[in-house]
Structure 1
Amino acid sequence: MVFMEMVLLQGFSTGVLLGVLLLLVVVYLLLSGSSSQDEGKDPPGPKPLPLLGNLLMLDLKKTYVSLCDLSKQYGSVFTVHFGPKKVVVLAGYKTVKQAFVNLSDEFGDRDISPIFHDFNQGLGIVFSNGENWRQMRRFAISNLRDFGMGKRGSEEKIIEESKYLIEEFEKFEGKPFDTSLPVSLAISNIILSIVYGDRFEYSNPQLHEMIQRACKNMKMAGSASVQLYNLFPWLSPFVKNQKQIVKTLKHTFKESEKLINGLLKTLNPQDPRGFADSFLIRQQKDEESGVKESPFHTKNLFYTINNLFAAGTDTTTSTICWSLLLMAKYPEIQDKVQEEIDRVIGECQPVAENRKNLPYTDAVIHETQRLASIVPFGVPRKTTCDVHLNGYLIKKGTSIFPLLLTVLRDENEWETPNIFNPGHFLNKQGQFVKKDAFMPFSAGRRVCLGEGLARMELFLFFASLLQVFRFTPPPGVSEDDLDLTPSVGFTLNPSPHKLCAVKRS
């Protein structure tokens, strides 16, 4: 009002005054628009309710499905409020690649939810950040290679274990059985031999208990009640699954302690038998040297071993079980795999070198990983600084959910994204082709530590099993009756089912 009075006293007409005011408004909008463009704007998303956020529109039993639906409405970068927690979701190959590959450092921290803090206490590899993560990952990469994650070492272990797995399948004499347990035993033994330097007999109850605890925890970690606990930690006294996870974890550490104490009794600093030995030797050196705040302590060893076992068992086991189920579901594809194996290697033991000469078999394995999308929204990340992505500003410390399912089924990258089609990885000449949008192990500096080992396990176990057995549905069950609906937990496993493994003549 004071400004208007001053203008009128100076003899300006009402029309001129309105013109001046309009000009000021335009200048303000231009300035504010410029500032907004510089700072960026928040990603779009559904309007949240107080406290509840967008929970009422999410199916917490199948959160990834709800997020996929929202991506169709709000685009490849959008905001969802899980209760009071703001999360930015990334969808589609180009967006996830831009964030995790081109902006790897900016999207490089792990978002550690309450349940995974319960799992790891900020220690280990998978759910830690900062200096602990850097030192543990660097140590793991340099040492695991020596005990079986290097090409030759892992190949020998997997070939040996595949023979035990074939013997286990033979015991069922072509009758229906659940493939998940024997496959879990074999895959677990690979990581256990790398960590402890020795495998376990399949009849060992300790091995069965370790597998059951790991599988149970992975399933409970993805349950709706635990997701609510992650949003409202004060609910912990009422969340049975959270208490059960903590109880199971304590039991797991007691078992690890027994195994580590056994190693300590015969530890030879000049001849480490596995990853655990190398860790213990480094721990002793740091203690003798008086290193302050060394990350090489017993709790970190337990959490790291737990990370390696869980990550090295669940997803690979699930992928192999999916592959066998898909072979029974699509016998014509199984025919092509077995024809190629018979023609190229005959009755010889499959080895890693065979992969390049088995393009169709390799394509089937990759297509299984793509369609199954074992980890549908990856492991959540967190931004390390303010970052611009696709025209939006994402603030430092924001939780990031990468929808890997939308990468592996991106309609712009895959011809038939929702159909099992090994042709996705073959050219017109039948040669195997790599696809940039194939990201089952995620990408960037948080890419899966065991990717190389997992890839070799999948090829050698799958080729060895298909060389010996024909997989079919149980008697009285048709291929069409085999259900491909996943069983939802933190990962997507096949629903409980049985198959017949019939020895080929």
Structure 2
Amino acid sequence: MSVLDSVVLQTPSLVTLLGTVVFLLLLYLLSSSSQEQGKDPPGPRPLPLLGNLLMLDLKRPHQTLCELSKKYGSVFKVYFGPKKVVVLAGYKTVKQALVNHAEEFGEREIIPIFQDFNKGHGIVFANGDSWKEMRRFALTTLRDFGMGKKMSEEKIIEECGNLIEVFEKYEGKAFDTTKPLNYAASNIISAIVYGNRFDYSDPKFKAMVDRANEATCLTGSPSIQLYNTFPWMGPWLWNWRRIRNLVDITLEDIKELIKGLKETLNPQMCRGFVDCFLARQQNLEESGSVASFYHDDNMVYSVANLFAAGTDTTGTTLRWTLLLMAKYPHIQDQVQEEISRMIGSRQVLVEDRKNLPYTDAVIHETQRLANIVPMSIPHVTSRDVTFQGYFIKKGTSVIPLLTSVLQDESEWESPHTFNPAHFLDDKGKCVKRNAFLPFSAGSRACPGEGLARMELFLFFTSLLQHFRFSPPPGVTEDDLDLTPAVGFTLNPSPHQLCAVSRV
């Protein structure tokens, strides 16, 4: 046999050997990379372009995600179209991410609909140094104007009187509670932001509140969720065009209100958030500061953020409290018995909370079950992170699934039913529950939590002190539907109630 023949015969084994070496080398490199970074979170197989959209209920995506968490665990991925999203489910996982890993999970994802109408300005839909400065300024200023303090209590008590007068005008006949409750909640944040409240009959005020509520509902619609996945669809979507129109009008109204305040500004006697912002601008201009976060866009969008958030979440939660009282009259009986026994007919004060444990528990349980911001507002990772053994790249969208926290079966005895006992100990005192996170957690938690808690307590107790809430004639408690309407926040479905005076 020639040397050439020998080489030819040995070539296949040589190729096989080289191939095996290359394969093992690649396997080693992939294994090393996997060990170093951690594995990718599990999740359903996506379709090209569409991702997992076809398996999501776009009217109630939080419900689909909760179901998926039962199969894939507390950290899993889904694809909204081509975009990968990591979902965090359950109290322990959400808290670990937002509190213990606040730096990695603390940035806000500015999805297309919010980028369109906030431009990266303001408090809620911003990141970086601008967000940090605006949030710090907002928290400091709101505290200065009594957020969660006696000054706020006085404003809320005054507004309780105005709201009671509105309810009394219906003389026990059925009516929709939406607008009066939203106007009352909006007036509290308006008094802090602008320095004054508005009359419920003020057409400009009514229009601003109604537009904010409509925009919130449309933002959670299936078509806008599709837009966030495929932004090129915007001009062809009626909801997108409608939101743009609503936002444009609202921003013009805010600018007009700011202009009026600027013309009457006295920096030594600030009336509210806007005055403080204008005074800070003035000081910076006088000192010759060029680069500053205190520009008009940040002021306008911060005001818009505060107004919308301060109106919708509190107003929506109050609607749920009254609906649940009409739905469960035996619970309403216990609330009113406690108020009558401990308070009588005098005005309820914040300091009375400790003496109204059952009433306080009912408010907490309403917030838990109503679950009005079920998917929180999306976050995005600020850097690469290995979390619970899974590798999540910088810039990955993250949904802290608050529904899964507020209805975590390992944290709540009866997570899917209205049960005020969740917040009562064996002595009947109201207790704190770790998994009670309706305001989210970490650096992105709602900055108005203290004010919202005060509003909910004072409005609810004042209304229950004066009225008995029941379904309209011909409608039974069983007929009252607790299915939420579609929206960015979960409002009750349209309904009417009777408010019969107890005085």
- Provide TM-score, normalisation by structure 1: 0.94
> How much has 1:344 moved relative to structure 2?
0.8
- Cα 1:113–1:27 change in 2 (3 A) is closer
Structure 2 equivalent of residue 226 of structure 1: 224
SS in 2 for 1:160: helix
Q: Which whole-Å CA distance do the structure 1 matches of 2:113 and 2:462 have between them?
A: 38
1:463 and 2:456 correspond: no
Q: Which whole-Å CA distance do the structure 1 matches of 2:349 and 2:356 have between them?
A: 11
> How much has 1:289 moved relative to structure 2?
2.0
Query: What RMSD in Å do the two structures reach over aligned CA positions?
Result: 2.1
Choose 249-258 or 399-408, whichever is displaced more. 249-258
**Paired residue type of 2:155:** K
Question: Where in structure 2 are there 5+ consecutive unaligned residues?
Answer: 1-5
How does 1:372-387 map onto structure 2 within 5 Å?
Answer: 372-387=370-385
Choose 282-291 or 197-206, whichever is displaced more. 282-291
1:475 to 473, 476, 482: 473
1:347 to 345, 348, 351: 345
Q: Which whole-Å CA distance do the structure 2 matches of 1:340 and 1:292 have between them?
A: 58
Contact 1:371/1:408 (8 A) holds in 2: yes
How does 1:28-39 map onto structure 2 within 5 Å?
Answer: 32-39=30-37
Q: Which whole-Å CA distance do the structure 1 matches of 2:484 and 2:92 have between them?
A: 26
Structure 2 equivalent of residue 138 of structure 1: 136
Structure 2 equivalent of residue 275 of structure 1: 273
1:189 to 183, 187, 190: 187
> How much has 1:34 moved relative to structure 2?
4.7
Structure 2 equivalent of residue 363 of structure 1: 361
SS in 2 for 1:335: helix
Contact 1:93/1:407 (8 A) holds in 2: yes
> How much has 1:59 moved relative to structure 2?
1.7
2:127 to 115, 125, 129: 129
**Paired residue type of 2:200:** Y
Contact 1:112/1:127 (8 A) holds in 2: yes
> How much has 1:37 moved relative to structure 2?
2.1
Q: Which whole-Å CA distance do the structure 2 matches of 1:27 and 1:235 have between them?
A: 46
Any idea what the Cα deviations from partners look like across 1:151-197, whole Å, max 9, x if unmatched?
Answer: 11111111110011011100000110111111111000000000110
1:91 to 81, 89, 92: 89
1:52 and 2:50 correspond: yes
Structure 1 equivalent of residue 160 of structure 2: 162
> How much has 1:402 moved relative to structure 2?
1.1
Structure 2 equivalent of residue 295 of structure 1: 293
Structure 1 equivalent of residue 425 of structure 2: 427
Q: Which whole-Å CA distance do the structure 2 matches of 1:22 and 1:271 have between them?
A: 80
Any idea what the Cα deviations from partners look like across 1:372-413, whole Å, max 9, x if unmatched?
Answer: 000010000011111111110111111001110010000000
Structure 1 equivalent of residue 77 of structure 2: 79
**Paired residue type of 2:143:** R
Contact 1:125/1:304 (8 A) holds in 2: yes
Any idea what the Cα deviations from partners look like across 1:276-332, whole Å, max 9, x if unmatched?
Answer: 000011111222222223111112111000000111110110100000000000000
Contact 2:85/2:396 (8 A) holds in 1: yes
Structure 1 equivalent of residue 241 of structure 2: 243
**Paired residue type of 1:203:** S
**Paired residue type of 1:55:** L
Choose 433-442 or 54-63, whichever is displaced more. 54-63
Any idea what the Cα deviations from partners look like across 1:184-227, whole Å, max 9, x if unmatched?
Answer: 11000000000110100111111110111101110111111111
Question: Where in structure 1 are there 5+ consecutive unaligned residues?
Answer: none
1:114 and 2:112 correspond: yes
1:312 and 2:310 correspond: yes
Q: Which whole-Å CA distance do the structure 2 matches of 1:35 and 1:377 have between them?
A: 32
Contact 2:74/2:90 (8 A) holds in 1: yes
Contact 1:192/1:198 (8 A) holds in 2: yes
> How much has 1:43 moved relative to structure 2?
0.5
Q: Which whole-Å CA distance do the structure 2 matches of 1:114 and 1:290 have between them?
A: 36
Contact 2:350/2:458 (8 A) holds in 1: yes
1:200 to 198, 201, 211: 198
Q: Which whole-Å CA distance do the structure 2 matches of 1:23 and 1:407 have between them?
A: 49
- Cα 1:476–1:396 change in 2 (3 A) is same
1:321 and 2:319 correspond: yes
**Paired residue type of 1:318:** T
> How much has 1:141 moved relative to structure 2?
0.8
Q: Which whole-Å CA distance do the structure 1 matches of 2:291 and 2:238 have between them?
A: 35
SS in 2 for 1:60: coil
- Cα 1:23–1:128 change in 2 (3 A) is closer
**Paired residue type of 1:378:** S
> How much has 1:38 moved relative to structure 2?
2.1
**Paired residue type of 2:402:** L
> How much has 1:51 moved relative to structure 2?
1.1
- Provide TM-score, normalisation by structure 2: 0.95
Q: Which whole-Å CA distance do the structure 2 matches of 1:119 and 1:21 have between them?
A: 56
Contact 1:146/1:153 (8 A) holds in 2: no
**Paired residue type of 1:152:** K
SS in 2 for 1:338: helix
Q: Which whole-Å CA distance do the structure 2 matches of 1:19 and 1:215 have between them?
A: 69
1:62 and 2:60 correspond: yes
Q: Which whole-Å CA distance do the structure 1 matches of 2:22 and 2:265 have between them?
A: 79
Contact 2:43/2:76 (8 A) holds in 1: yes
Q: Which whole-Å CA distance do the structure 2 matches of 1:150 and 1:371 have between them?
A: 24
Any idea what the Cα deviations from partners look like across 1:251-278, whole Å, max 9, x if unmatched?
Answer: 1111112111111121101100010000
- Count of matched residue positions in the alignment of Structure 1 and Structure 2: 494
**Paired residue type of 1:463:** T
**Paired residue type of 2:447:** L
Contact 1:408/1:437 (8 A) holds in 2: yes
Percentage of pairs with the same residue:
63
Structure 1 equivalent of residue 3 of structure 2: none
Contact 2:148/2:454 (8 A) holds in 1: no
Q: Which whole-Å CA distance do the structure 2 matches of 1:364 and 1:343 have between them?
A: 17
Structure 1 equivalent of residue 329 of structure 2: 331
Structure 2 equivalent of residue 499 of structure 1: 497
2:263 to 262, 265, 270: 265
How does 1:407-422 map onto structure 2 within 5 Å?
Answer: 407-422=405-420
Q: Which whole-Å CA distance do the structure 1 matches of 2:265 and 2:385 have between them?
A: 48
Structure 1 equivalent of residue 250 of structure 2: 252
Contact 2:349/2:458 (8 A) holds in 1: yes
